[in-house]
Amino acid sequence: MYTRVRVVTAGAVFALILACGGGEKPSRAAGASNQGTPAATGLKGSATIRGTIKFTGTPAPNPPIDMSEEAKCKADYSTPPHDEIVVVNPNRTLKNVFVYVKAGVPAGATYAAPTSPVILDQKGCMYHPRVFGIMTGQPLDIRNDDALLHNIKAMAKHNRPFNISQPAAGMDATRDFVTEEVMLPFECNVHGWMHAYAGVLPHPFFSTSGADGTFAIDSLPPGTYTIEAWHEKYGTQTATVTVQNNQSTTADFTFAAH
């Protein structure tokens, strides 16, 4: 059973498209498969919010990256790399949009963080994934696959920031976060083009759009939710969604070039 919801952005109201929106599930690298299952103390259900992040217009080209001084990373690319600020998929959808429940989780509900880590990898002098979700208390495993120095700086405002170095391939470090923070930026002090963003939440109701532009938020209890879609360049959009158990509700978002 599918229902319609309404998206609110920049003071205008957009009609949403009624569709299955199944598509590809975000991978663990996108933070989705690390969401885990709500703990016994947190209400859970069988409702799902899924949708597609659509894109209209022609985005400005992503800036090229000069890796002339990093031959070990440059060798990973067959064509000159670009900073992937805006990634429009072949089907005119937008990658790396973080979608999460901003409001509506039952008051007092608590959810146990998964013990399996979210992995933030450094390969080819880039962060992988660029955008991901993680629960408070869940391990973040930061890895270096490059045979050179990376310096990982978490520029947290509500959590404790950190700045650590990994000078060789095969190094890893584990950190976690205790407080909700959307979004928490990462950068590398050695390579100024390296950026990543984490959505830190006390619940598992989040997803990140991937190569097909879809997202899915599962195991929701019945209720009315505010969901927010965040993109690093195009900002945020919100939708109000009411769901029931065993119901899948479609909430599509459309971002436009500017």
State the CATH number of the domain containing residue 100. Answer: 2.60.40.1120
* Same domain, yes or no: 180 and 215: no
- Compute, in degrees rounded to 10, the torsion defined by CA atoms 176, 202, 225, 195: -10
Full-model pTM: 0.84
Pairing of strands 118-123, 223-231: unpaired
The CATH number of residue 187's host domain is 2.60.40.420
* Same domain, yes or no: 184 and 224: no
Output Rg (C-alpha) for the chain, integer angstroms.
18
Structure-block tokens of residue 257: 């070039």
Instruction: Look at residue 67 and tell me if it is in a domain.
Output: no
Low-confidence stretches of the chain (pLDDT < 50) are 1-40
pLDDT attached to residue 43: 80
* Same domain, yes or no: 92 and 157: no
* Same domain, yes or no: 257 and 196: no
Instruction: Look at residue 134 and tell me if it is in a domain.
Output: yes
How many whole angstroms separate alpha carbon 219 and alpha carbon 49?
Answer: 9
DSSP 1: -
Pairing of strands 253-256, 172-175: unpaired
Instruction: Look at residue 7 and tell me if it is in a domain.
Output: no
Instruction: Look at residue 71 and tell me if it is in a domain.
Output: no
Instruction: Look at residue 157 and tell me if it is in a domain.
Output: yes
Structure-block tokens of residue 124: 């080819």
pLDDT attached to residue 41: 62
| Number of domains, the chain | 2
Range of the domain at 142: 112-202
pLDDT attached to residue 26: 38
How many whole angstroms separate alpha carbon 16 and alpha carbon 221?
Answer: 22
* Same domain, yes or no: 126 and 198: yes
Q: Which of these three, 182, 202, 222, is where a domain ends?
A: 202
